Structure formats: structure tokens, C-alpha cells
């Protein structure tokens, strides 16, 4: 009798485990297309291409142009660059921390440019592999001299275009 009871309990447990696995698999297949950190309150946008305009600050033709520049940079220097625009970095309050954690979540690019129009903030994160070619000081100079002046005028495309061109020059 005890043997039959053990088999019944084991079969019931296996059914529950299979149902749990099926539900988890369903969640992975049909779940949100976002990347999360170890902190469950932070949800990053999915990085799916060279240009990820979640704040809708670029036209489609501008996205295509920036994507072409990014592809060219990757082809010439084997360095991926991605642009992410977001309407908010909440629960973060600092664009540097947000962009650093976002960059850690992606394997797509070695240079990550994050723009948050509502905060009037921009950050470029470089992976460790290119710091010898593009230092933090050079990156800051590109931001200060080529990107920010255009962003202040509301010319997001021109600022990003200038930034990518200057990054390309520094990497040659």
C-alpha cells in the first residue's frame, strides 16, 4: 500500500513540474521583449538593432541613415555601436548608471549611446575592448563638441550623426 501511495505522489509531483515548465516556457515565448537586470523593478528596452528609438525622436529615414553609419563603422573597425532613445530611465535618476547597466545587458554593441530627451541627457558607454582606441576623455569631447550643441537645438539626428562620424574618426 505504501508503494502505491509513493507512486501516486511521485506522478502528481511530476505532473505539477511539467505544468510549471510548460507555463514558464509559454512566458518565455510570449513574454515581454525587454531585458531586465537582477533588480526586478528595472526593465530595459529590448536592443534589437543598431538604432532603437523608443522615444520616437527620429524619423524612419533618419533611423535608416544612422543604422547605415553604424553598420559601416562595424564593418571597418569590427566595433558595434547602438543608439537607444528612451522616454524615461526610471527608476534610475542618473543617465550614467542607466546606460552602464543597459550596456552590460547587451551583447550587440561595444559602444552604447543612450538619449533621454525628457531628462535632456545623453551618455556614451564604451566597452573595455576599445578604451585604448577611444578614451573617456575623447568620448566626452565628442559629446561636448559634436553632439550636445545639436541636441540643444533639438537636432537629435544631426547630433547623433556628428557623434558617430567623430567616433569613426577616432577609431581609425
Query: What is the C-alpha end-to-end distance of the chain, expressed in Å?
Result: 78
Centroid of chain to Cα 74: 17
| Domain assignment present for 36 | no
Distance CA 94, CA 99 (A): 9
DSSP-derived pairing of the beta strands 51-53 and 81-85: parallel
- Domain span including residue 22: 2-31
Q: Average of pLDDT values for 48-64?
A: 96
* Mean pLDDT value across the chain: 81
pLDDT, residue 50, reads 95
| Domain assignment present for 38 | no
Residues 105 and 131 occupy one common structural domain: yes
pTM of the model: 0.74
Q: Average of pLDDT values for 21-42?
A: 43
| Domain assignment present for 133 | yes
Tell me which DSSP letter residue 119 carries.
G
pLDDT, residue 133, reads 87
94 beta partners: none
Distance CA 28, CA 31 (A): 5
128 band by pLDDT with thresholds 50, 70 and 90: confident
Residues 26 and 52 occupy one common structural domain: no
pLDDT, residue 34, reads 41
Distance CA 73, CA 92 (A): 30
pLDDT, residue 19, reads 45
pLDDT, residue 17, reads 47
% of the chain residues with pLDDT over 90:
56
Q: Say yes or no to pLDDT of 38 above 90.
A: no
Structurally, the chain folds into a number of domains equal to 2
Residues 104 and 22 occupy one common structural domain: no
Judged by DSSP in three states, 45 sits in strand
Residues 141 and 60 occupy one common structural domain: yes
pLDDT, residue 30, reads 34
* H-helix segments, 36-147: 60-77, 95-105, 136-142
Amino acid at each position: 500500500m505504501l508503494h502505491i501511495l509513493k507512486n501516486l505522489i511521485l506522478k502528481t509531483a511530476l505532473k505539477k513540474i511539467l505544468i510549471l515548465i510548460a507555463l514558464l516556457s509559454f512566458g518565455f515565448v510570449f513574454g515581454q521583449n525587454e531585458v531586465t537586470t537582477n533588480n526586478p523593478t528595472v526593465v530595459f528596452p529590448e536592443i534589437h538593432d543598431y538604432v532603437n528609438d523608443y522615444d520616437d525622436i527620429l524619423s524612419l529615414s533618419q533611423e535608416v541613415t544612422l543604422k547605415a553609419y553604424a553598420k559601416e563603422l562595424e564593418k571597418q573597425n569590427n566595433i558595434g555601436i547602438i543608439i537607444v532613445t528612451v522616454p524615461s530611465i526610471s527608476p534610475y535618476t542618473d543617465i550614467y548608471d542607466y546606460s552602464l547597466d543597459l550596456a552590460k545587458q547587451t551583447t550587440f554593441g561595444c559602444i552604447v549611446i543612450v538619449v533621454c530627451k525628457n531628462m535632456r541627457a545623453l551618455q556614451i558607454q564604451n566597452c573595455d575592448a576599445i578604451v585604448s582606441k577611444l578614451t573617456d576623455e575623447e568620448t566626452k569631447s565628442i559629446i561636448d563638441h559634436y553632439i550636445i550643441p545639436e541636441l540643444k537645438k533639438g537636432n537629435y539626428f544631426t547630433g547623433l550623426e556628428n557623434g558617430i562620424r567623430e567616433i569613426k574618426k577616432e577609431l581609425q
